[in-house]
């Protein structure tokens, strides 16, 4: 049995905790059963994946909550320098 680092468990718990009060719109699973994709009604995606740990060669659980990028437009600050003193 492998031990999952506490930081990983906290990150997973935080991602899953964000689902409270959300409505699930769609659920997909990869054909090899290595990834579950949950689409929420507000456009967020919860990805639950089984990844191979490069150091130990053992599988590990990975959970990410992806949010849509904010569509705010940030204008660039323009500074003009005059030719004189």
Q: How far is CA 4 from CA 12, 40, 61, 62, 78, in A?
A: 11, 27, 9, 11, 49
Checking if the pLDDT of 41 tops 80, the result is yes
**Rg from Cα positions in the chain:** 21
- The alpha helices in 1-85, defined as continuous H runs, are 6-17
Among 28, 25, 23, 68, CA closest to 47: 28
Average pLDDT of every residue of the chain: 80
Q: How confident is the model at residue 63 (pLDDT cuts 50, 70, 90)?
A: confident
Extents of the domains making up the chain: 6-66
Give the pTM.
0.62
- Cα distance between residue 24 and residue 35, in whole Å: 17
């Amino acid at each position: 049995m492998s031990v999952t680092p506490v930081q990983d468990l906290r990150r997973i718990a935080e991602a899953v905790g964000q689902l409270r009060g959300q409505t699930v719109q769609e659920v997909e699973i990869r054909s090899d059963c290595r990834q579950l994709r949950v689409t929420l009604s507000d456009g967020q995606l919860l990805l639950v994946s089984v990844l191979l740990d490069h150091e130990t060669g053992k599988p590990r659980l990975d959970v990410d909550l992806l949010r849509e990028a904010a569509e705010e437009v940030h204008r660039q600050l323009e500074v003009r320098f005059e030719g004189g003193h």
